[in-house]
Amino acid sequence: MRKRTLMAVAVTCVAATLACHKKVSPVARPLPPPPPDTTTPSSRPPAPPEPAQEPVAVPPEPVASDAISSASLDELNRSTLLKPVFFDLDSSDLTSAGQKVLDDNAGTLKRYATWTVTIEGHCDERGTAEYNLALGERRAAAARAYLVSLGIPADRLRTVSYGKEFPFDPGHDEAAFARNRRAHFVITAK
């Protein structure tokens, strides 16, 4: 992800360079034709190193904000900025640990107020496939209701249950079961 962010930054630098170049171009220089290859900006503008430093210079929070807002949805979802919430066996009650995770997630959702999120409900394999659809939904709904109670607009939060169809951990032990009983957050728009 870091690599991609850097790439994104690099692309914005090039864009900035070009913009700079355009502003400069009115100063009549008829002789040299503009280089067709935009990826190798000519040595004339002093820009190249400068824009690379620019994002580094800004204060930490906006940097994060820029990196996050320039990241793709896939990158955001891989980064797990929104943490999953785990549940006890057969239960859709939020634990205190789960509430704390949701407090953090609410903070993130407030910071990025345009994001819409799908909350996926998941179950471990011990329950039955059919009932687990409804149990997964109840877990997702519990997480959603808590976020709404913290002031996140309900229309930014959709729920979907996958029952036990998509286990995160394919194992068959208690540790795997615990990882699979969760409400999982997927950012669907930003």
Partner 1 sequence: MTKTILALALALSAVQLPAQQPQPQQPTPLSQQPTEIGVAIPSEPGAQVRLAVPDLIALSSDAETVAIARIIGQVLWDDLNFEREFSFVARDAYATIPKATSLIDIPFDRWRELNADGLVMGTVQKTGNLLRVEIRLFNVRTQQSAFGKVYSGSPANPRSYAHMAADEIYQTQRALKGVAESKLTFVSDRDGERMSGTVEKRDVKEIYIADYDGDRQQRVTVGRTLNVFPRWSPNGRSIAYTSYRRGAPNIFVSNIYEATMEEVTKGAAENWLPAWSPDGSRFCFASPREGKGYTNLYLVNRDGTGLRKLTDHPSINTSPTWSPSGTEIAFVSDRTGSPQIYVVSADGTGPAQRITTSENYADKPTWSSLPYNEIAYTARTGPGNDIKVIDMATRTVKQLTFGEGTNESPVFAPNGRHVAFTSTRSGKKQIFTVTRDGRDVRQVTKIGNNEQPDWSK
Q: Which two tokens stand for residue 101?
A: 């995770």
Residue 102: how many CB atoms within 10 A of its CB? 26
Tell me how far, at minimum, the Cβ of 109 lies from partner 1, in Å. 17
47 vs 137, which CB is nearer to partner 1?
137
Q: Which two tokens stand for residue 116?
A: 């819409």
Tell me how far, at minimum, the Cβ of 129 lies from partner 1, in Å. 6
Tell me how far, at minimum, the Cβ of 148 lies from partner 1, in Å. 11
Tell me how far, at minimum, the Cβ of 94 lies from partner 1, in Å. 12
Residue type for position 25: S
Tell me how far, at minimum, the Cβ of 157 lies from partner 1, in Å. 11
**63 Cβ contact list (under 8 Å, min separation 6):** 55, 56
CB 185 within 8 A of CB 117: yes
21 vs 158, which CB is nearer to partner 1?
158
Backbone angles phi, psi at 33, to 5 degrees: -65, 145
* Closest by Cα among 125, 176, 135 to 159: 135
How many CA atoms lie less than 13 Å away from 53 in the CB half-sphere?
A: 5
Interacting residue ranges for partner 1, rule: CB under 8 A: 74, 77-78, 90, 92, 125-131, 133-135, 137-142, 145, 158-162, 165-166, 168, 186
